[in-house]
Structure 1
Amino acid sequence: MTTTVRADEAALRRELTDFYHLVAWFGWDEIIFNHISLRVPGEVHGYLVNPFGLAYEEITPESLVKVDTDGNLLEDNGYKANPAGFALHGVIHANRPDVNCVAHAHTLAVSAVVNKAQGFSHDTFYGAQLTGRIGYHDFEGITLYPEEKGRMLESLGQHDVLALRNHGVAVCGPDIASTFMLLWTVERAAQIQLLAQSMQDEQIPLAPIIREKCAADARRITGGSNGAARMVFDAAVRRMRRAQG
């Protein structure tokens, strides 16, 4: 089944597909589970998400599903969406107009960190960049039920990252590149934290003013159409394509 899309949406579908492929290539995927969603240009309550049943590396621009914030299909391309994504992604897209892209993941490192009461440390290079940017939400089970929407939204607040305790994370950004780089930063922070905490010796604490400066600088350096996030995303796509031949 062929669906006609606008040129700007077609370009974003290709870029979102690259995001899915990168997550698979880095090994951050959960086979057919989890989601990366993207608000559709000109459609306040419409977003694109992965078709349920396809592995991330199998996703194509044409197979991406367009749904509203309640999970109803806006177009029929022969695929269905995973209802587990509607509660989390739908409520964010419906209530955070500054967020156009949401990526949910539970990598090994991230899942380990959010299983600990401390959560993310801000005493590492990448962890410091997340200072003041993470909201925490207590685990209520698989995110299937509409009654949890309001509580997740409250936990996220105006943060960029929602740490789902005993589960994973959802990272939020104004565009695909920023969201990818934020997910990459969260993953690096989690990996380094696990290694550092497994070693003997005391952790070197960072002063709050240094943590806050790192977070502010990270936002400034990575943001915008010509920021580091765009360069990082494009470089990651090129590296993936070279590796895949």
Structure 2
Amino acid sequence: MNAQNQAMQVDAGFNIPDPMAIERLEGKVSDAEWAMRKQLAATYRLCAMHGWTDLVFTHISARLPDEDGEHRFLINPYGVMFDEMTASALVKIDMNGKVCQDTPYFINPAGFTIHSAVHMARKDAGCVIHVHTPYGMAVSAQKKGLRRYTQMSMQVYNDLAYHDYEGIALELEERERIVENLGAKSLLMLRNHGTLTLGPTCGTAFLRMYFLENACKAQIFAQSVGGEEHLIEEPAEMGDRVYMQGAAAFVPGMGDNLVWPGLMRKLARTNPGHNH
């Protein structure tokens, strides 16, 4: 059954179970898959903690180790909130949107379109985060996009690409244009839509989203005082300098390892349960 047909089950009264009530998959999947499930479920809850949710309408995905030569990844079950996500609830699908496990859940076809495009094109896309926040959407609607108003924006500015709006991402043909627009960069502004980041690990993708979303938030706050004549935008040369100065934060094993353990401790204190 393809992703769009699965989504149709909602109209037929599809039951969406409590993720804490379903069977725990530890020991029933490979150790590598279980470890990735825990990391990804934690990432969902961290995004909820930071307010980067749109009820159940955005997605975070993670690539799994190849199985029998097949490329597969994990994505959220449609109808499960980010702050209640569990390792066992995540759905394993292939690059055609086919569900590759027994599960009571289905997936959002728009999530499959966007995330499969990035995972197929980029070997370094171990994790892909896509969100719809008010600040990210507000900047995505601006003709000039993200500006060099703040240090945080300059730390990601040179690594940010743009993709023009084509409607809700249900058409697989859009994948080619997403990939073309993304190129070799690690952050993508989906015009009139939202933001996307990728990284080899959940921690790196999360850290990039943290910088991008806070840069967008600061830009909207700064613009609230009036027009461009009231704001200082640093020149491209300064943007290049700050980007190079901050590059170490996104090197695998650097920034992600610096902040991820603390985030896991905070999650254990405030919203435990993602390891179910």
Shared fold (TM-score greater than 0.5)? yes
Provide the residue aligned with 1:223 in structure 2: 251
Q: CA RMSD in A?
A: 1.7
Instruction: Return the alpha-carbon distance in structure 2 between the equivalents of residues 217 and 66 of structure 1.
Output: 38
Query: How much has 1:133 moved relative to structure 2?
Result: 1.0
Distance across 1 between alignment mates of 2:44 and 2:102? 21
Letter in structure 1 aligned against 2:148: H
Relative to the length of structure 1, the TM-score reads 0.93
**What CA distance in whole angstroms lies between the structure 2 residues aligned with 1:222 and 1:149?**
26
> Residues 201 and 252 of structure 2 are in contact (CA less than 8 Å); yes or no, is this contact kept in structure 1?
no
Equivalent pair of 2:133/2:194 in contact (CA under 8 Å): yes
**Do the aligned residues in 1 keep the contact of 2:52 with 2:133 (CA within 8 Å)?**
yes
> Quick one: which amino acid aligns to residue 185 of structure 2?
H
SS across alignment from 2:124: coil
Which residue in the other structure is 1:111 paired with?
137
C-alpha contact 1:122 1:129 (8 A) present in aligned 2: no
Where does residue 175 of structure 1 map in the other structure? 201
Q: CA deviation at 1:91?
A: 1.0
Report the 3-state secondary structure (helix = DSSP H, G, I; strand = E; otherwise coil) of the residue aligned with 1:30: coil
Distance in 1 of aligned mates of 2:104 and 2:271: 28
Q: Is the 8 A contact 1:45 1:93 kept in 2?
A: no
Q: Corresponding residue for 2:20?
A: none
1:232 counterpart = 2:259: yes
- The verdict on how the C-alpha distance between 1:71 and 1:125 changes in structure 2, with shifts beyond 3 A counting, is same
> Which structure carries more relative contact order (alpha carbon 8 Å, separation 6+)?
2
Match for residue 241 of structure 1? 268
24, 36, 39: which one pairs with 1:15? 39
- Counterpart position of 1:165: 191
Give distance in 2, aligned partners of 1:182 and 1:57. Answer: 20
Choose which of 59, 62, 68 in structure 1 pairs with 2:94: 68
1:60 and 1:221 mapped to 2: Cα distance?
28
Q: Would you say the 8 A contact 2:65–2:71 is kept in 1?
A: no
What is the CA deviation profile of residues 179-200 of structure 1, one whole-angstrom value per residue up to 9, with x for unaligned ones? 0000110111011111111125
Q: Pick one of 51, 58, 65 that aligns with 1:41.
A: 65
How many residues were matched structurally? Answer: 244
CA deviation after TM superposition for structure 1 residue 116, in Å: 0.8
Q: 1:41-91, CA deviations, whole angstroms, 9 ceiling, x for partnerless residues?
A: 235621001011111122110110001122111222222111111111001
Unaligned runs of 5+ in 2: 1-22
Aligned to 2:172: 146
Q: Distance in 2 between matches of 1:237 and 1:121?
A: 32
Quick one: which amino acid aligns to residue 55 of structure 2?
I
Q: Percent identity?
A: 34
1:2 Cα offset (Å): 5.9
**2:33 counterpart letter in structure 1:** E
How far the C-alpha of 1:40 sits from its partner, in A, is 0.3
Report if the CA contact (8 A) 2:146-2:157 is conserved: no
Q: Distance in 2 between matches of 1:47 and 1:140?
A: 25
Alpha-carbon distance in 2 for matches of 1:71, 1:218: 37
**1:240 and 1:155 mapped to 2: Cα distance?**
35
